[in-house]
Amino acid sequence: MNNEFPSSSGETAQCAQTFFTAGAASVQQNGDVPTQQFVASSADALLNSLVGMDLVTHADIVKMGTTQRNHLRPGTDGDCFLYSNEEVFMEKPPKIIEGYLFGDLIGEGSYSKVKEVVHVRSLMRRAVKIIKDKRLRKIPGGEQNVHREIDVLRRLNHRNVVKVFDIFRIEEKQKLYIVMEFCVCSLQQMLDNCTEKMLPEFQAHLYFTQLIDGLDFLHTKRIIHKDIKPANLLLSLDGILKICDLGVAELLESASDWCTLVQGTPKFQPPEVVSGTQKRFRGRLVDIWSCGVTLYNLVSGCYPFDGDVIMKLFENITTAPLQMPPTPISQSLTQLLTGVLQKKPEKRWDMLKIRKCKWFTSQHQTDNARIVRVPSIKHTPAHRPLSVYNSLVQLYSGQQTVTEEEEEEEGGEKEEVQAQQPAEEEEKQTK
């Protein structure tokens, strides 16, 4: 669908470079780093490769041998990379599982953790979602959501949908690993870390056009996402938006988009879902409503409908009139928000109307002074450097590695201790 609307994609390519710094721009569009000749037996060769890929500068290493230090060259890191003034010591040997060298924890959900990894043969930078069976069983419908997400992700290949490269399971550990492309942060993290808690209209336009491209692709594949929101919209190293988290998505069996179950975030759900009066819903229109709430949130920092308690929220979504954000927005954006946030599904705009509207097709002037940039590593862990760097140095310096059989998750023992503490507290109170 992208090639039918060259103006939007052209603007995307032009503006994305402005939003991200030179350090991030050196990485390819899909988040990969170029493969180079790599000599596994030499730590010097390792540093040569990393420096050549602009993943390491003098600031990444504060103490190393004379030979290694000679390989470093002056350079300027972008916001995605770390400036460090202190030496970091590895407490554990580097860990390799199925050919992936593990780095730091970069995210955590109700039943999964996300860590940064590097494929040791190709040096491609990835993220891996680690799902523990024990955690999964505690979540209602958790196993179904994971199997659904895997089934859906295997079918997808689009620049605005997060890509899955590998899926494997370690039976001994009762863990599932989903290897995906590496992204630096979500739109929600950008909102949380900026002063005004919202984006300028031109920047919201950049992301919304990509969201529509990605969502339209999902719909053509008969996939209803059901949980579109800023937290599920990631940004790659070069600023490309990626739709993620298809755990509650539905793969339609026919061309009809009627759905009977929606498990998305309440504030982003349409009236026909929260009213409780309808037994089935038009899935594509549910996603479009969520896109409207997302866009409203991006340009205002608030929601079109809210409530102190869940029932009040549902009442407002169902009956309260739509009011435009208190912050000034263009007339064409007002028209778009009014169209996609129609309470009656039959009156709500579809993808074609969205793509043809003035706000979507217009070129928006970029104001560099107002751009909300990716959160800096200096202030938040939302952006991380190559966190596996220390593991790489140790690995190619001949130090011992941890394999699948030896690997133990740090959180495993902590979870057992935390689980025992409430029981001990309760026992004391009973006595």
Residue 285, CA distances (Å) to 96, 106, 211 in order = 44, 33, 15
Q: Where would I find the H helices in 258-350?
A: 271-274, 283-300, 310-319, 331-340
Residue 227 among the catalytic residues: yes
Distance of alpha carbon 41 from alpha carbon 398, whole angstroms: 7
Start-to-end Cα distance in the chain: 67
Structure tokens at 98: 């199925």
For the beta carbon of residue 305, count every other beta carbon within 10 angstroms: 25
Distance of alpha carbon 161 from alpha carbon 210, whole angstroms: 10
CA angle, corner 49, sides to 44 and 51, nearest 5?
Answer: 95
Burial classification of residue 166, based on how many CB atoms lie within 10 Å of its CB (0-12 exposed, 13-18 middle, 19 or more buried) = middle
Residue 259: beta bridge partners? 281
Amino acid identity at 46: L
Long-range CB contacts (within 8 A, 24+) of 411-419: 411/113
Task: Tell me if 203 sits within 8 A of 196, measured CB to CB.
Answer: no
Strands 233-235 and 250-251: unpaired
Q: 418 in the Ramachandran plot: left (φ > 0), alpha (ψ -120 to 50) or beta?
A: alpha
| φ, ψ of residue 110 in degrees (nearest 5) | -65, -30
How would you label 367-388 residue by residue, b for 16+ Cβ within 10 Å and e otherwise?
eeeebbebbbbeeeebbbbbbb
Strands 233-235 and 241-243: antiparallel
For the beta carbon of residue 407, count every other beta carbon within 10 angstroms: 17
Whose structure tokens read 């997400």? Answer: 149
Task: Tell me if 185 sits within 8 A of 382, measured CB to CB.
Answer: yes
Distance of alpha carbon 307 from alpha carbon 322, whole angstroms: 14
Q: Is 115 annotated as a binding residue?
A: no
Structure tokens at 294: 């997302």
For the beta carbon of residue 430, count every other beta carbon within 10 angstroms: 6
Please pick, among 227, 238, 245, 287, the residue that the annotation labels catalytic. Answer: 227
Q: Which residues have a catalytic role annotated?
A: 227
Binding residues for ATP, as ranges, are: 129
Binding residues, as ranges, are: 129
